[in-house]
Amino acid sequence: MRTDDDHINTFFAPAQRADQDEIRRQHQILVRSPCRGMVDSVPTIIMVLNQNRQLVFANKALLAFLGLDGLSSILGLRPGEIFGCVHCKDAPGGCGTSRFCSKCGAVKTILAGIAGQESTNECHLLCKRNGVVQAMDLLVSGAAFEFESEQFNAFSIVDMSHEKRRRALERVFFHDILNLAGGIRGLAEVVRDEAPESLKEEARVLHRGLADLVEEILSQKDLAAAEENELIPEFAGLGSLGVLDRVLRTYSRHELARGKSILVDPAAVDVRFSSDAKLIGRVLGNMVKNALEATELGGEVGMGCDRDGEKLTFWVQNPGAMDKDVQLQIFNRSFSTKGRRRGLGTYSIKLLTERYLGGEVGFSSNEREGTRFWMTVPLKVPAAAGPVATISNQ
């Protein structure tokens, strides 16, 4: 604990405040700023604080968030007091001065700005608004600036609460649904092994379907983690023909392959390389599924791999050609030719390959040669392929 000149106790940030006359003077300085209109047009909450962490200006986004018509009622307050932080009255000095404030990302960001440093932190806030306590997850950024010989701090806030809640619910969902689906798959395996001969085929189909279901759930779980930069690839020694063979065995029995053929190019090279078997299987699997969906009954989907120096290229080809308009939107996150709520297949191909496997993806499509999707990966573990956890060769 330390005591400021005005004898108000503080456990973290200084407690001193400017009086209301000073606050109004500083507010009038900023009202004259030529950037006022631009700041008001920004949808992100922007607050301008003085050196005592008090609000002297804010844009319309803050007023809209708080449901206020003007700033007069909140001028001179600190961010925690404006948002109703449950700890803002725990110490006589208000926001920033309690023991809890030492862990607050917002206070740390503001203090860094006062010290002349740009800073960005997450702030997890418990607020009491209209008598109701609610949790807020904020991304806060701050930087100092000077205007008319006065020092101020620009403080921006992005509300991540919905995104954080969605991600937490996703984790719970994937955990629970995988446990349930995995248990049913295990039961189906027992049924498959113990079924009488007259039901063997049905039991095999049931088990195969449940295994595909678990794999699809795992694929979506990894994609969600990849988008949040939470996915950690596990690199091991692989053989290129072994990779193709696993994809072939998996998807030759897939529902999409009924009445169609998947063939591995006889010229495909067999090369040892380091990559994540699960992720590379997901990428090639998506390529194969897309190719099968675009192939008519009786048609063929081809797979292969070629080596070019220290790189290995896997490819999947089908006979049809994509429309020009479709080609212009391939790899976009929400684009699909298959209807609404689709469009993650080619997006995940690009995301997993280029962010986590250190490779590149592309395609070609024309009437004469059909459509070919390809992924190029390095033979050795990439130095910058996301957070890498290397495991022993297998």
Strands 370-378 and 9-10: unpaired
Mean pLDDT of 65-73: 93
CA 9, 14, 17 angle in degrees (round to 5)?
95
Q: Which residue has the higher pLDDT, 204 or 271?
A: 271
Q: Which residue has the higher pLDDT, 175 or 304?
A: 304
Is the pLDDT at 337 greater than 90? The verdict is no
Q: Tell me if residue 248 falls in helix, strand or coil.
A: helix
> What is this structure's pTM?
0.60
**Cα–Cα distance, 373 to 321 (Å, whole number):** 12
Question: Which residues fall within 8 angstroms of residue 166, CB to CB, at 6 or more apart?
Answer: none
Q: Are 345 and 373 in contact (CB under 8 A)?
A: no
pLDDT averaged over every residue in the chain? 87
Instruction: Give the confidence band of 392 by pLDDT, cuts at 50, 70, 90.
Output: very low
Q: Tell me if residue 127 falls in helix, strand or coil.
A: strand
Most confident of the ranges 4-18, 175-189, 256-270? 256-270
Mean pLDDT of 309-321: 94
Most confident of the ranges 14-18, 29-33, 197-201? 14-18
- According to the model, what pLDDT value does residue 344 have? 58
Mean pLDDT of 362-376: 93
- According to the model, what pLDDT value does residue 70 have? 93
Q: What are phi and psi of 314, to 5 degrees?
A: -100, 145
Is the pLDDT at 382 greater than 70? The verdict is no
Mean pLDDT of 38-59: 94
- According to the model, what pLDDT value does residue 69 have? 92
- According to the model, what pLDDT value does residue 383 have? 61
Mean pLDDT of 140-149: 92
- According to the model, what pLDDT value does residue 191 have? 85
Q: Is the dihedral of CA 222, 225, 229, 233 positive or negative?
A: negative
* The domain made up of 2-159 is a member of CATH 3.30.450.20: yes
Q: Are 331 and 361 in contact (CB under 8 A)?
A: yes
Q: b or e along 297-314 (b: 16 or more beta carbons within 10 Å of the residue's beta carbon)?
A: eebebbbbbbeeeeebbb
**Cα–Cα distance, 291 to 373 (Å, whole number):** 9
* CATH level 3 topology of 232-394: Heat Shock Protein 90 (3.30.565)
Q: Residue 333 corresponds to which tokens in the numbers above? A: 């996150």
- According to the model, what pLDDT value does residue 36 have? 84
Instruction: Give the confidence band of 6 by pLDDT, cuts at 50, 70, 90.
Output: low
Q: Give 168: exposed, middle or buried? Use CB within 10 Å, 0-12, 13-18, 19+.
A: exposed
Q: Residue 170 corresponds to which tokens in the numbers above? A: 């996703």
Is the pLDDT at 1 greater than 50? The verdict is no
**Domain coordinates in residue numbering, the chain:** 2-159, 161-230, 232-394
Q: Which residue has the higher pLDDT, 42 or 208?
A: 42
Is the pLDDT at 118 greater than 60? The verdict is yes
Is the pLDDT at 394 greater than 80? The verdict is no
